[in-house]
């Protein structure tokens, strides 16, 4: 199948956080998600110069992909049964205090992120996804406004994969 002929818009997407509980992971679909940004950093380059002129380029360190997403702030934390917020999931607090890290090879608490974009309802043969494992929270920003927003910035310390129509 050719590339989808339907442009995707924010209302087509959803973001799910998942921990490492087996055999069935705990999941949380982020409420009031406003925007997702994914940067798939590639291998760094080491440039070799001879008296100011680049003469060769070698591969450097592996790049570390990053993901940012913004949510409308309804609550910072929620410890009620069936409750919880995105901040709780990252901090292992509130209703998510029992969540376990997704990758045991990463010292930090980390989660799996699945960003899904609707495709089948728009005539594509399947939905589209970006799946990132071993994501650790680097920082989050709170911004007061109409509405209040929280922006989460994470590193992908595991794998990053994409799916789409075939």
Q: What share of the chain has pLDDT > 70, as a percent? A: 97
Q: What is the mean pLDDT of the chain?
A: 89
Contact status, residue 70 vs residue 35, Cβ threshold 8 Å: yes
Evaluate whether residue 77 is within a structural domain.
Answer: yes
Evaluate whether residue 3 is within a structural domain.
Answer: no
Is pLDDT above 90 for 5? Answer: no
How large is the average pLDDT for residues 76-80? 82
Domain CATH code at residue 24: 2.40.30
Q: How many CA atoms lie within 13 A of 60 on its CB side?
A: 11
Which one of 7-16, 45-54, 64-73 scores highest in mean pLDDT? Answer: 45-54
Evaluate whether residue 20 is within a structural domain.
Answer: yes
Which residue segment(s) compose the domain that 15 sits in?
10-163
Is pLDDT above 70 for 160? Answer: yes
Residue 133 burial (CB count, 10 A): 20
Residue 1's pLDDT band (cuts 50, 70, 90)? low
Alpha-carbon distance 89 to 76, whole Å? 11
For 39-47, which contacts have Cβ atoms below 8 Å and span 24 or more sequence positions?
A: 39/65, 39/66, 39/67, 40/65, 40/160, 41/65, 41/66
Residue 132's pLDDT band (cuts 50, 70, 90)? very high
Lowest mean pLDDT across 19-23, 82-86, 137-141:
82-86
Q: What share of the chain has pLDDT > 90, as a percent? A: 56
- Number of independent structural domains in the chain: 1
Evaluate whether residue 89 is within a structural domain.
Answer: yes
Alpha-carbon distance 130 to 26, whole Å? 19
Is pLDDT above 80 for 44? Answer: yes
Evaluate whether residue 63 is within a structural domain.
Answer: yes
Evaluate whether residue 137 is within a structural domain.
Answer: yes
Alpha-carbon distance 95 to 82, whole Å? 7
Evaluate whether residue 5 is within a structural domain.
Answer: no
């Amino acid at each position: 199948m050719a590339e989808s002929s339907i442009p995707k818009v924010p209302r087509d997407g959803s973001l799910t956080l998942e921990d490492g509980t087996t055999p069935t992971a705990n999941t949380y679909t982020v409420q009031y998600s406003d925007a997702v940004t994914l940067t798939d950093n590639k291998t760094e380059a080491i440039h070799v110069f001879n008296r100011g002129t680049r003469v060769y380029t070698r591969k450097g360190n592996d790049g570390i992909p990053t993901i940012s997403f913004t949510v409308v702030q309804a609550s910072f934390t929620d410890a009620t049964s069936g409750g919880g917020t995105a901040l709780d999931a990252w901090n292992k607090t509130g209703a998510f205090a029992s969540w376990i890290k997704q990758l045991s090879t990463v010292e930090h608490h980390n989660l799996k992120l699945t960003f899904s974009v609707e495709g089948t309802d728009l005539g594509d043969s399947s939905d589209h996804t970006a799946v990132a494992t071993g994501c650790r929270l680097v920082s989050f920003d709170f911004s007061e406004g109409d509405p209040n927003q929280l922006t989460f910035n994470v590193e992908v310390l595991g794998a990053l994969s994409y799916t789409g129509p075939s």
